[in-house]
């Protein structure tokens, strides 16, 4: 299933939980008020493509292309 067809609407809290568990994400696409992300395992292997229209998540991502861009 590609992200454009994904029924999920990922929240910022869910993405933060994903990363806190040691997993990763990569930005697939960003169009205005919608982003598509590839959720990856802790080893970086693709797990699921999801979409989000959550304004808090979109603002959090900013210009980041992956969770590594936001790592401190």
Mean pLDDT by 10 residues, the chain (72 residues): 58 96 96 95 95 95 92 70
Tell me which residue range forms the domain holding 58: 3-64
In a domain, 45, yes or no: yes
Our count of domains for the chain comes to: 1
The confidence score (pLDDT) of residue 37 equals 97
Beta bridge partners of 38: 26, 49
What is the predicted pLDDT for the residue at 2?
Answer: 47
Does residue 13 fall inside a structural domain? yes
Domain-located, residue 41: yes
Nearest to 60 by CA among 21, 19, 8, 5: 19
3-class secondary structure, 31 = strand
| Longest Cα–Cα distance in the chain | 33
| 35 contacts 24 by C-beta, under 8 angstroms | no
């Amino acid at each position: 299933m590609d992200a454009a067809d994904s029924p999920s609407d990922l929240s910022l809290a869910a993405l933060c939980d994903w990363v806190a568990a040691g997993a990763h994400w990569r930005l697939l696409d960003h169009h205005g008020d919608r982003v598509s992300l590839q959720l990856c395992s802790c080893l970086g292997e693709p797990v699921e493509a999801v979409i989000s229209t959550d304004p808090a998540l979109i603002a959090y991502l900013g210009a980041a292309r992956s969770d590594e861009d936001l790592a401190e």
